[in-house]
Every structure is written in structure tokens, then in C-alpha cells.
Chains A and B, each alone.
Chain A
Amino acid sequence: MSDIEKNLRAEAKKLLEEKKVDYVIGYEESNGKVSPCFIDNAKDVEKLVFNPGCVHNLSVYLLEADAENKVGIVAKGCDSRAIIELIKQNQVIRDNVFILGISCDGVKDLLGKDYDKCKNCKYPVPLIYDVLLGEKKEGKEEDYSDVEEIESMSLEERKKFWNKQFEKCIKCHACRNICPLCYCEECALDDKNWVSKSHKFPEIWMSHLIRALHTAGRCVSCGECERACPVNIPLRKLYRKIGKDVKELFDYEAGVNAEDVPPLVAFDLDKDKEKIKQN
């Protein structure tokens, strides 16, 4: 058992025994497969694990907590950004969560391959936490080469590439449902004024573009949408384009500081004038 795991269990136990939280959201493992778990009893903390199978961004479950619940949550660097974003967007009350931050070494899929998000992870250490488990470490340099690769294709190629991806979509909405930042009670994707339920063109094009644009300024690149997608649409790469532009144009990054004003409900007169060339 790693030190992180040992300390995690001890912290969780303390939280539950002292009744600082109603339950802890963490990871458990059975038959070599890790899944999210909810622990509300101190004697169950031995179930908690932390290992490279802990890919899930647990912050999505914070949306299901009641307003009076106090919740402990295990968060890696990327997960912590979603929590920051949720606090910023008034979906989570800071004092209601106790963040068990973990300095992360990366997670791997069932075949032992690194996830893309870990290959260019800028923030392995949570940006918000109440306790930190593991040693602080350096993140990687900002790297948008995945997006740049697509940007370097011709218009026609890009259209072909993305349309081929969109065509695969079966409209299961797993990408939306797993996204911690898709919390709208009434989703545009369920509104037939915008899109029908069809998974064919042009409706499916419309669905994908709407969701992508709704991630503007809030997607934290956790990659959960892409992981959940049953037909392997590279959604993270789709949304990271917007993240990249938001960074370049508005010098803004989602999920870094809960005090930031979201970029599309803000403006900066001088910089916008200089930087935004409309046509």
C-alpha cells in the first residue's frame, strides 16, 4: 500500500469520525477495476484506494450533493480544476467540501496506456485542497500540439476529419452526463428548438457545435467526455481548441482561480480592442 493510500484512509477516517463530512467520495477497487465509491462510515475507509486506475473525475458527483451535505472528495490536479470551476459558477459551496488533494503521477487506461491528459498535464498538484497527499511536483509546459496538429490541416481536411467523427456519434449523451461542468438543469441539447434527437447530419453537427461552444471558458480538459464516449470521438481535442483561443485572446484559463470572472461575461476594453480582429 502506498503512502498516499495510507494517508488518504487516515484522513478520511478522521473526517468521518469527527463528523466533519457526511460522506467521502473516493475510489475503490474490485477485480482489478477501479470505480468511484461513496463512504459514509469510518469503518469502511479501508476500501479506499489510490492508484493509476483512478482516472474518474469525481467532482461530477458534487452536483448530486444536497445543499446541507458536507462532502469529502478525493481530487487529482485536473479534478481540482473542475471543483474550482464549480465553485466559481456557484454550483458548489466551498465550505461544504473538504478536498483530499492528491499530487498526481498520472493515470492509465485498462491496457496500461497513459491518458492524453496526463501527457501534457500542467497541474498535477491540485490547485485547491484542504490536505495534500504526496509531494508537490512540477507540471509540464503548456502544450497544445494536439490542437495545432488539426489547425495545420486544410479547411477541407478539417471538415472531413470532424464530420467523420460526428458521424460516429450515437447521441448517447454520455459526454454531457459525465462532464462536471455540464450542470444546466435545462440542457440546450434537449431543446428541440435547437436540435432534434436525430444522430444524423445536420442535427448531429449542431449538437456537437452547441456543446463545444458551451464549454467555452469552463472546460478544464479533464478528458472525461472523451473517456466516456463509446465511439471514441476525440472530444477533448475538439474543446481544447476553444480553451486555447480563450487563453490566447483573453489570457484566461478555466479552473485555476475561483475568483476569476468567466471570460465570456467579462471584457477588457484595451486588450480586446487590440487582440480581437473580428473578420
Chain B
Amino acid sequence: MNEEKEPKIIGFLCNWCSYAGADLAGTSRIQQPPNVRVIRVMCSSRIKPELVLKAFKNGADGVLVAGCHPGDCHYMDGNYYTRRRFVILKKFLEYVGIDPRRFRVEWVSASEGMKFKEVVEGMTNELKDLGKFELQ
């Protein structure tokens, strides 16, 4: 893969659903772009906005936050906070001029290996169109 042209995506995945979903995609040998660097967190609500900003600051072209579907969070209501927190972040990034397609929040369950692949594929393609992320 051509390192220069390939978008780098930092993916924060919750342990109980989305990480398991990504794992399933792997063990089921579903072909998907290798662009996501995964960081496993216990719950999507663990992710502070700072983490997302830091990924961008350090050169990510896109950031993906993925957690259990609303209603399915392992800790009951963690992702209800995630949902609120990141809709604010996303709109704010847009306000300071960052293409909203660079930041995604997705709900992926442990059984949705296919969905994980589609998310990664979709995001990778969008980021290819957008080109490298330049902060300045």
C-alpha cells in the first residue's frame, strides 16, 4: 500500500461491541481496507473529545468512534452520553472548518462484522476523495 496516499484513520472501538465486531470481520476473513488503526476502549463513553482532537493534531486523516448500538451498551447508558458529546464535537469541528466526513460515530454490534467492513470501506473511500488532512 502506498503509505503517502492511503488515509490514516484512528478508530476508537468499544471493547464489548465494536471491537468484537471488528474482530469478527477479521476472523470471518472479510476483506476490508487496512486503514484503521484501532484503539480499544472499554466503552465509547470513555472517549474524551481531547482524544479525537489529539488524533487529528498528530496527523490522522479521519477519526472513527464506534460503540454498541444505543440501548445495548455493556454499561447500560454509556453510549447515550457518547451520542450527545460527539454530535457537539462534530458540529464544532465543522464550524472551525473541518470536513464533517473526517469524523464519524458509528454503532457496530459484536455480530456486525459486515457492517464494520462497510463503515471502514465507506470512510476510507471518502477520505481518499478528500485527500490528506491539513490542519492549516
Contact = CB atoms under 8 A, between A and B. Distances in A.
Interface of A: 150-151, 155-163, 188, 194, 201-203, 205-206, 209-210, 212-213, 216, 238, 241-242, 245-246, 249-250, 263-267, 269, 272-273, 276-279
A212 B95 CA distance: 12
A202 B98 CA distance: 14
Interface residues of B, number: 31
Given A155-B98, A264-B84, A273-B70, 6 more contacts: A276-B83, A276-B84, A278-B86, A278-B87, A278-B105, A279-B104
6 contacts: A151-B95, A162-B96, A202-B57, A241-B95, A246-B88, A269-B80
Contact of A158 (B88, B89, B95, B136): B95
**Across chains A and B, which 9 residue pairs bring their CB atoms closest together, nearest first?**
A159-B97, A267-B80, A158-B97, A162-B96, A278-B105, A202-B57, A213-B49, A241-B95, A276-B87
B54 interface: yes
B96 A209 contact: yes
Interface string B85-108: 111111110111111100011100
Contacts of A241: 91-92, 95
Contacts of A205: 57, 135
B98 A249 contact: no
B94 A209 contact: no
Contact of B105 (A150, A159, A163, A279): A279
A184 B87 CA distance: 24
Contacts of A159: 96-98
Contact of B80 (A160, A242, A272): A272
Contacts of B53: 206, 209-210, 213
B81 A242 contact: no
Contacts of A194: 50, 54
Given A150-B95, A163-B97, A163-B136, A263 B54 contact: no
Contacts, number: 100
Interface string B52-81: 011001000000000000100000010011
Contacts of A238: 95-96
Interface of B: 49-50, 53-54, 57, 70, 77, 80-81, 83-92, 94-100, 104-106, 135-136
B136 to A, nearest CB: 5
Contacts of B88: 213, 216, 242, 245-246, 249, 264
A158 B90 CA distance: 15
Contacts of A210: 49-50, 53
B57 A267 contact: no
Given A151-B95, A158-B96, A273-B70, A265 B105 contact: no
Contacts of B81: 264-265, 267
A157 B54 CA distance: 23
Nearest to A265: B81
B136 A264 contact: no
Nearest to B51: A194
Contacts of B95: 150-151, 158, 162, 238, 241
B80 A209 contact: no
Contacts of A203: 57
A21 B136 CA distance: 52
Nearest to B122: A279
Contacts of B86: 278
